Amino acid sequence: MTETIVSSTLAARAETAIKIYGHGDTEVHALRGVTVGFERGQFTAIMGPSGSGKSTLMHCMAGLDRLTSGETYIGDTTLSQLSDKNLTLLRREKVGFIFQSYNLIPTLTAKENITLPLDLAGSDGDQAWIDEVITTTGLGDRVSHRPNELSGGQQQRVAVARALASRPEIIFGDEPTGNLDSRTSAEILDFMRRAVRELGQTIVMVTHDPVSASYSDRVLFLTDGQIVDEMSNPTPETVFDKMKTLGD
């Protein structure tokens, strides 16, 4: 764990990322040349008003969507040069996802959902690591239950654990607490922070909630497809003040 903290290489980065949707009159510039890097073992929050391009940035960096121009990297891998199949394999091995609406498979148990990425890859994974992840979720014997038998918070903890299961290079979260009440949100964010601090993971999350952002190590502010500011060791108040100046 100390090793990853010492390492200063970046888990993922983007260089002059440009993303344009549509053509002609309906052209939308979602990203206007974003250059950014995410340190290993860091918890980063991306903030910005609606339509600022924060989700687009995350999708492109995670290999879910392709840039119009520019380049994104996961570790040393250049994403634009990968075929759809290799991109899929890269996601499977090096990227984890946490979705706003949990996106658990209702027909699989919590444990089966957690090991799903490994099963898809046909690998057993690191059993000790998986046990550790499952223990960290604090679900106990509820891991053999179906998602609909779990509370919202528990479901999202399963979703986070699923992202952790394959011990990816980087985990992306899309408003991971958007569907949760504030107490459950705190619990999930705390869980994510522990994954970074104690398990040495790298997490990037998109949010528009200053409280959520305050759990991160670093906050990036996006407006009109450009990074306009960043902040280290944020608190809810400083983030809130910053957001006001951005005119959310």
Partner 1 sequence: MTMLKLSARNIRASVGRLVLTILAVTAGVGFVTGSFILADSLSDTFSGIFESAASQTDASVQLAGLEFGEDDQTLSDSVVAALEELPETARVTPIVTITDQFTPFVILDAAGEEVKPRGPPILTFSWDGREVESAIALAEGRSPAALDEVVINTEYAVAADVAVGDQVNFLTPDGQQTFTLVGTVDFPVSAGAFFVLFDFESAQTLYGKEGLVDTVELAAAPGVSAEELIAAAERVVPSEAEVINQAEVIEQSLEDFNQFIGIFRNVLLAFAGIALFVSLFIIYNTFAILVNQRIQQIGMLRAIGATGRQIRFSILAEAALVGLIGAVLGLAAGFGVAFLIKAAFQAAGGFPETGNVITTTTVLVAFLVGVGATVLSALGPAFLASRVSPVAAMRNEAGGDRGQHRRIIGGLVCLAVGLVLLGLGLFLGGQQTSVLLIELAVGAILTFVGVALLSVLFAGPIVNFIGRAEVLGTSLLVLGASLLVFMFTVGDGLPDGVVSWVTFPIKVAVSTIAILTGLSILISKSRGSGFGLGGSAAGLEGQLAKRNAGRSPQRTAATATALTIGVALVATVGTVGESLKASFTDSLERGVQADLFIYDEEGQGSFSGDLADRLEGVAGLAELSRFRANELRLADGDVVNMFAYETGTGESVIDLGIVAGSLEGTADNGMLVFVDEAEERGLLVGDSLVVDFPDLQSETLTVVGLFEDNSVLGVPFIIDLDLYEQHISNDDDVFVGAAIEEGTSVESVKAAVVAVTAEFSGVTAQDNEEFLNAQEGQIDGLITLINFMLGFALFTAFLGVVNTIVLSVVERTREIGLLRAVGTTRAQMRAVIRWEAVIVCLFGALVGIVLGVLFAWAAVTAIPDGIISRMALPYETVIFAILVAALAGVVAAALPARRAARLNVLDAISTS
Residue 155 sits in the site that holds partner 1 (CB under 8 A):
no
Interface mask toward partner 1 for 159-188; x: CB under 8 A: ---xx--x-------x--------------
What is the closest distance, in whole angstroms, from the C-beta atom of residue 242 to partner 1 in the complex?
25
Contact yes or no for 62/202 (Cβ under 8 A): no
Q: Using the rule CB under 8 A, is 3 a contact of partner 1? A: no
Is residue 99 at the binding interface for partner 1, with CB under 8 A as the rule?
A: yes
Closest by Cα among 89, 91, 114 to 102? 114
Look-up of token digits 């038998």: 149
Q: d(Cα 10, Cα 121) in Å, to the nearest integer?
A: 25
Nearer to partner 1, 40 or 91 (CB): 91
Residue 178 vs 236, nearer CB to partner 1: 178
> Exactly one of 6, 27, 106, 247 binds partner 1 (CB under 8 A); which one?
106
Q: How far is the CB of 161 from partner 1 (least distance, A)?
A: 12
The whole-angstrom separation of Cα 163 and Cα 90 is 14
Residue 116 within binding range of partner 1, rule CB under 8 A: yes
The footprint of partner 1 on this chain (CB under 8 A) covers a number of residues equal to 32
Other C-beta atoms lying within 10 Å of the C-beta of residue 219: 23
CB 204 within 8 A of CB 196: no
Q: Counting contacts by CB under 8 A, is residue 144 touching partner 1?
A: no
- Residues 122-141 touching partner 1, rule: CB under 8 A, are 122
Site for partner 1 (CB under 8 A): which residue of 1, 5, 28, 120? 120
- The distance of closest approach from Cβ of residue 41 to partner 1 in the complex, given in angstroms and rounded to an integer, is 22
Among 48, 96, 147, 210, binds partner 1 (CB under 8 A): 96
Cβ proximity of 223 and 194 under 8 Å: no
Q: Are 191 and 136 in contact (CB under 8 A)?
A: yes
Q: CB of 107: closest distance to partner 1 in angstroms?
A: 4
Using CB under 8 A as the binding rule, the residues of this chain from 14 to 73 that contact partner 1 are 55, 59, 62, 64-65
**Cα dist from 46 to 118, 126, 205, 224, whole Å:** 28, 31, 6, 13
Q: Which listed residue (1, 5, 28, 121) binds partner 1 by CB under 8 A? A: 121
Q: Which parts of this chain interact with partner 1 (CB under 8 A)?
A: 55, 59, 62, 64-65, 84-85, 88-89, 91-93, 96-97, 99-101, 103, 105-108, 116-117, 119-122, 162-163, 166, 174
